[in-house]
Amino acid sequence: MTDASAQENALEQSPEEAAEELTPKSAPEDRATKGPFDASEVSGVRPYVDLGGVKIVPRTDLHLRLEVEEASKRVVAVGLEYHGSTLQVQPFAAPRSSGLWHEIRGQIMEQLASQGARAKPATGPFGPEIFAEIPVTVEGQQGMRLARFIGVDGPRWFLRGVIAGKGATDRDAAAEIEELFRSIVVVRGGSPMPPRDLIPLKMPSTPGSA
């Protein structure tokens, strides 16, 4: 999803502007006030777990897990478990004035279909999303994992989330995990980055603070 290998152009001049397409952003109208937030939109007073590209508000019963790419040993996603739901998040660099989610949704649908999953477009509190039934094997038994793919275009970043567990189907659990997604702060930074590059993530400076 990061397209990192295809984005090895020189970065001297605004790669976001050079690659920008006229694709509208997809985000709730109240994103700037209710999240997900850009780092410039929050004060430094509230405590956060600093994971580099994202900051997470610590809360009771929240379990945090970092997903590490085996070959490169880099952190590629943040996994959150909360009250029977899971939320995987990834922050990506994006153009300044256009979005990525409308284009990426189609690519996710194609990828899911190639994996034998059933996926369909849906609409949720963040706008367009994808609801998928993904085949899985657990202890030798075939089953289906239900998941919601959500996305929000922010200022020069795109935040993708995958909700599974109770939050994929139960209304009350969904509201809880959606509020958690809303509370995430994306730290884009000022360095030039090609659109779709994963914003670097890191281990928290105080392990166990979540």
The pLDDT assigned to 132 comes to 98
If one compares 44 and 199, the residue with the highest pLDDT of the two is: 199
CATH number for the domain formed by residue range(s) 15-186:
3.40.1000
Give the start-to-end residue ranges of the domains of the chain: 15-186
In 3D space, the residue among 161, 146, 194, 200 whose CA is nearest the CA of residue 35 turns out to be: 161
The Cα angle at residue 119 between residues 78 and 67, in degrees rounded to 5: 15
For residue 166, pLDDT beyond 90: yes
Distance separating the N- and C-terminal Cα atoms of the chain: 27
Question: Are 81 and 62 spatial neighbours (Cβ–Cβ below 8 Å)?
Answer: yes
Q: What is the mean pLDDT of the chain?
A: 87
Q: What is the pLDDT of residues 46-79, one digit of tens each?
A: 789 999 999 999 999 999 999 999 999 999 999 9
Three-class SS state of 89:
strand
The pLDDT assigned to 140 comes to 83
DSSP state of 36: S
* Bridge partners (DSSP) listed for residue 31: none
Q: What is the pLDDT of residues 11-43, one digit of tens each?
A: 333 444 444 447 899 999 999 999 999 999 997
CA 154 – CA 60 distance, rounded (Å): 28
204: preceding bond cis by omega (within 30 degrees) = no
Question: Are 203 and 75 spatial neighbours (Cβ–Cβ below 8 Å)?
Answer: yes
For residue 209, pLDDT beyond 50: no
pTM of the model: 0.85
Strand order through the sheet with 54-56: 37-38, 185-186, 54-56, 49-50
